[in-house]
Amino acid sequence: MKILNNPSSEIWKKSLERPVQKAKKINKVIKPIFKSVKKKGDQALIQFAEEFDGVKLTEILVTEEEIKAAKNQVSTELQEAIEVAYTNISKFHTAQKQDELVEEVMPGVICRRKSVPIQKVGLYIPGGTAPLFSTVLMLAVPAVIAGCSEIILCSPPDKEGNIHPAILYTASLVGLRKIAKVGGAQAIAAMTFGTESISAVDKIFGPGNQYVTAGKQRATNYGVAIDMPAGPSEVLVYADDSANPAFVAADLLSQAEHGIDSQVVLVTNSEDFAKKSLKEVDKQLKDLPRKDIAKKALKNSTAVVVKSRETTLDIINNYAPEHLIISVEDEEEVVDGIVNAGSVFIGKYTPESAGDYASGTNHTLPTYGYAKNYSGVSLDSFVKKITYQKITEKGLKLLGPTVEVMAENELLMAHKNAVSIRLNYLKNQK
Boundaries of every domain in the chain: 2-20+231-360, 23-100+118-228, 392-428
Give 348-356's long-range contacts (Cβ < 8 A, gap of 24+).
Answer: 348/242, 348/243, 348/244, 348/247, 350/325, 351/247, 351/250, 351/251, 351/254, 351/325, 352/235, 352/251, 352/254, 352/255, 352/323, 352/325, 353/251, 353/254, 355/323, 356/134, 356/254
Check if the beta carbon of residue 71 is closer than 8 Å to that of residue 56.
Answer: no
User: CA–CA separation, 233 vs 19, rounded Å?
Assistant: 11
Higher pLDDT, 430 or 263: 263
159 band by pLDDT with thresholds 50, 70 and 90: very high
271 band by pLDDT with thresholds 50, 70 and 90: very high
- Which residues are part of the catalytic machinery? 322-323
pLDDT of residue 21: 65
Q: Is the pLDDT of residue 192 over 90?
A: yes
Instruction: Please tell me the CATH superfamily of domain 23-100+118-228, with its number.
Output: Nitrogenase molybdenum iron protein domain (3.40.50.1980)
User: CA–CA separation, 185 vs 208, rounded Å?
Assistant: 9
Q: Is the pLDDT of residue 20 over 80?
A: no
- Tens digits of residue pLDDT in 200-259: 999 999 998 889 999 999 999 999 999 998 888 999 999 999 999 999 999 999 999 988
Contacts of residue 395, Cβ cutoff 8 Å, sequence gap at least 6:
106, 107, 108, 109, 110
Q: Is the pLDDT of residue 34 over 90?
A: yes
332 band by pLDDT with thresholds 50, 70 and 90: very high
The 8-class DSSP code of residue 61 comes to B
Domain at 2-20+231-360: CATH architecture: 3-Layer(aba) Sandwich (3.40)
Percent of the chain with pLDDT over 70: 99
- Tens digits of residue pLDDT in 67-99: 999 999 999 999 999 999 999 999 999 999 999
Q: Is the pLDDT of residue 355 over 90?
A: yes
pLDDT of residue 128: 67
Q: Is the pLDDT of residue 430 over 70?
A: no
Query: Which residues participate in the annotated binding site?
Result: 124, 186, 209, 233, 255, 258, 323, 356, 410, 415
Query: Which residues participate in the annotated binding site for substrate?
Result: 233, 255, 258, 323, 356, 410, 415
CA distances from 287 to 253, 283, 354 (A): 11, 8, 21
Residue in 195, 181, 218 with CA at minimum distance from that of residue 204: 218
Burial class (CB in 10 A: 0-12, 13-18, 19+), 231: buried
Q: Is the pLDDT of residue 23 over 90?
A: no
392-428 shares the fold of 23-100+118-228: no
CATH topology of domain 392-428: 1.20.5
User: CA–CA separation, 383 vs 202, rounded Å?
Assistant: 11
Percent of the chain with pLDDT over 90: 93
> What's the whole-model pTM score?
0.94
Average pLDDT over residues 285-289: 95
The b-or-e profile of 314-342 (16+ CB within 10 A means b, else e) is bbbbebbbbbbbbbbeebeebeeebebbb
- Tens digits of residue pLDDT in 387-416: 999 999 999 999 999 999 999 999 999 999
- Residue 335 three-state SS: helix
Query: Which residues participate in the annotated binding site for NAD(+)?
Result: 124, 186, 209
Q: Is the pLDDT of residue 348 over 70?
A: yes
User: CA–CA separation, 328 vs 341, rounded Å?
Assistant: 17
